[in-house]
């Protein structure tokens, strides 16, 4: 997703086509517009235009003549990072190359200049938020003149770091998609000062309930984006491939998997809870890989290993 280059009033501008470099105030406005779109008051195209104007500090009401409006729309359509496009099952997409399918997911079929675009236009396609990024877009929150620093994430120099503890991450992730009334608790978990405790986060949630609902929603979407990044853009994607009945390692029973680490001599419950989330995920991933290789070493075939571990045979072949 390359930056968009344009000249405006004699100056060259480079418009970021990604989540990672979005200013906090622009992100908060974007979340307000996302809520408007979810309520049916904005189209994806209108949301992109609003985002562009907020980012460039343009007054949208000053775009009145047809040429100016056409240029604004043209630029906004190049912002492909905000949404992905999902299509119903169809043979057209199966016949395309990976690069062509990527373009179909990022660019509206009415903007595609390809032989298959006309067929895609006839399908019942939908826009969904492309929440997959590694960034902390709200590094701190101020409530009653008190500053609360959020968790830190960084993927620069090809090294991923994250300040969340394992328990902190697990409890926050369990609230993704939960009732909106839990958003203050999610925020309190993610902006908890000092050594994290569940009890302390519940007490702090009362304070975070004072935040505007748009800010709470922005915190939630930011964390969802990072969580999706963890399991789609890193080696931890292995941990999403378990079949439903074997998903205890990193999904519904993630807390059980955390406390099971104490049996491996890594410390008591209090120590285990404070393990960095990336360390925790690396341990779980390594235990999974070791289990597959040990079973293979004992002469088990791929189908038996798949049945025992819960991973697809194709993944087991890659591990071995």
User: 3-class DSSP state for residue 309?
Assistant: helix
Mean pLDDT, residues 68-78 taken together = 90
What DSSP character marks residue 276?
A: B
Measured CA to CA in angstroms, residue 148 lies from 138, 141, 151, 197 at distances of 10, 5, 10, 16
Q: Which residue's structure tokens are 């709470």?
A: 216
Tokens read off for 293 = 């290789």
pLDDT in tens, 32-56: 999 999 999 999 999 999 999 999 9
- Say which range, 232-236, 240-244, 282-286, has the weakest mean pLDDT: 240-244
Q: What is the pLDDT of residue 203?
A: 98
**C-alpha dihedral (72, 14, 21, 42), degrees to nearest 10:** 0
**C-alpha dihedral (211, 217, 220, 222), degrees to nearest 10:** -100
- Say which range, 137-141, 266-270, 304-308, has the weakest mean pLDDT: 266-270
- Say which range, 152-156, 176-180, 316-320, has the weakest mean pLDDT: 316-320
Q: Which of 105, 85, 79, 99 is nearest to 18 (CA)?
A: 79
Contacts of 5 (CB under 8 A, 6+ apart): 12, 13, 14, 15
Q: Kind and range of the H or E element at 184? A: helix 183-190
What DSSP character marks residue 165?
A: B
Q: What is the pLDDT of residue 249?
A: 42
Rounded to the nearest 10 degrees, what angle do helices 213-232 and 183-190 cross at?
A: 60
The separation between CA 37 and the C-alpha centre of its own chain, rounded to angstroms, equals 19
The per-residue pLDDT of the chain, averaged, comes to 89
Q: How many residues does the chain have?
A: 320
pLDDT in tens, 162-173: 999 999 999 999
Inform me whether the pLDDT recorded for 244 exceeds 60. no
Q: What is the pLDDT of residue 205?
A: 98
Q: Kind and range of the H or E element at 14? A: strand 11-15
Inform me whether the pLDDT recorded for 7 exceeds 90. no
Band the pLDDT of 251: cuts 50, 70, 90.
Answer: very low
The separation between CA 73 and the C-alpha centre of its own chain, rounded to angstroms, equals 27
Inform me whether the pLDDT recorded for 253 exceeds 70. no
Mean pLDDT, residues 262-273 taken together = 72
Share of the chain above pLDDT 90, in %: 57
């Amino acid at each position: 997703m390359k930056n968009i280059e344009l000249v405006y009033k004699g100056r060259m501008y480079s418009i970021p086509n990604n989540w990672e470099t979005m200013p906090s105030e622009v992100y908060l406005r974007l979340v307000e517009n996302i809520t408007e779109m979810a309520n049916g008051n904005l189209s994806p195209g209108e949301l992109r235009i609003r985002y562009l104007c907020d980012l460039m500090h343009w007054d949208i009401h000053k775009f009145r003549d047809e040429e100016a409006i056409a240029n604004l729309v043209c630029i906004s359509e190049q912002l492909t990072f905000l949404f992905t496009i999902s299509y119903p099952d169809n043979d057209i997409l199966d016949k395309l190359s990976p690069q062509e399918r990527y373009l179909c997911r990022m660019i509206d079929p009415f903007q595609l200049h390809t032989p298959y675009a006309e067929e895609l236009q006839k399908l019942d396609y939908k826009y969904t938020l492309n929440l997959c990024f590694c960034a902390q877009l709200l590094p701190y929150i101020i409530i009653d003149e008190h500053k609360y620093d959020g968790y830190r994430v960084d993927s620069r120099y090809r090294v991923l770091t994250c300040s969340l503890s394992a328990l902190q991450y697990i409890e926050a992730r369990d609230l993704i998609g939960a009732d909106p009334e839990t958003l203050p608790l999610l925020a309190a978990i993610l902006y908890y000062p000092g050594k994290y405790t569940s009890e302390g986060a519940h007490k702090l949630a009362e304070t975070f309930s004072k935040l505007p609902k748009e800010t709470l929603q922005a915190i939630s979407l930011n964390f969802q984006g990072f969580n999706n990044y963890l399991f789609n853009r890193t080696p931890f994607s292995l941990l999403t491939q378990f079949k439903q009945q074997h998903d205890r390692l990193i999904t519904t029973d993630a807390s059980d998997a955390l406390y099971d680490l104490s049996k491996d001599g890594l410390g008591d419950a209090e120590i285990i809870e404070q393990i960095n989330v990336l360390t925790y995920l690396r341990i779980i991933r390594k235990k999974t890989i070791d289990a597959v290789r040990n079973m293979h070493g004992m002469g088990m075939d791929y189908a038996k290993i798949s049945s025992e571990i819960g991973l697809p045979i194709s993944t087991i072949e890659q591990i071995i």
